[in-house]
Amino acid sequence: MDIAHNLQAIHASIPPHVKLLCVSKFHPAEAILEAYNAGERCFGESRPQELQQKAPQLPADIEWHFIGNLQTNKVKTVVQHASLIHSVANIRLFDQIEKDAAKIDKIQDVLIELHVADEETKQGFTPQEATSLLTPDFVATHPHIRLRGVMGMASLTDNEAQIHSEFETIRECFNTLKNTVFADKAEFDQISIGMSGDYPIALEHGATIVRIGSAIFGNRNY
């Protein structure tokens, strides 16, 4: 795998204002360093323990994002390392992040994860659940959480029309929130959509962060 070469090709295909999150889960620290030396500073991990092991061995100016399934008892570990948690997928997680961030005096940036795919295995809030959960009162009672936007995944399918429609549903939910409860919050500005297989489509639907793993680092063995 020529990581630097892959990165060059990806940067050529995304506009400069879109952030590339290099998804390094299941890849060793050496692979991350290779991408770091090619200029990348933003890496995504999906398991708290893996994040906890890798972060201390790698340069301190790396911005770690957490993108995986999260259990409440692992929130503390993730809050210690992550500058952005993409995968806040249930109310218990909001409450636990509030508690653990307060303990270390941190304001934790998060995205609310939306479920729009037709797969039961994916987690997250439906757009309706998200818009009814995120009231001004809810935001005010979680002062150590800063909502930065939304995250979601499209179905694993060859049906491009379906992928377009799912990403558009995510953008519409973002717009609804942005125009109501977050109308005076400039920091609510992120749409995290698009992976190796579907990021060109996500770019058409307002992606501000694309999360790309295998197109950079190759296939994962797990």
For residue 21, the minimal CB distance to ligand PLP (Å) is 8
How many other C-beta atoms lie within 10 A of the C-beta of residue 168?
16
Burial 91-128 (b: 16+ CB within 10 A, else e): eebbebbbebbbeeebebbbbbbbbbbeeeebbbbebe
Of 129, 197, 208, 218, which lies in the binding site for ligand PLP, with binding defined by CB under 6 A? Answer: 197
CA 131/CA 133 separation, integer angstroms: 6
Residues 92-111 binding ligand PLP (CB under 6 A) are none
Does position 23 bind ligand PLP by CB under 6 A? yes
Q: Report the phi/psi class of residue 218: left, alpha or beta, with left for phi > 0 and alpha for psi in -120 to 50.
A: left
CA 176/CA 131 separation, integer angstroms: 8
Residues 36-65 binding ligand PLP (CB under 6 A) are 46
Does position 213 bind ligand PLP by CB under 6 A? yes
For residue 198, the minimal CB distance to ligand PLP (Å) is 8
Does position 209 bind ligand PLP by CB under 6 A? no
For ligand PLP, which is the closer residue by CB, 87 or 108? 87
Does position 24 bind ligand PLP by CB under 6 A? no
Does position 35 bind ligand PLP by CB under 6 A? no
Pairing of the two strands 108-115 and 42-45: unpaired
Give the binding-site size for ligand PLP (rule: CB under 6 A): 14
Residue whose structure tokens are 């790698």:
58
> Which residues of the chain form contacts with ligand PLP (CB under 6 A)?
23, 25, 46, 67-68, 153, 195-197, 211-215
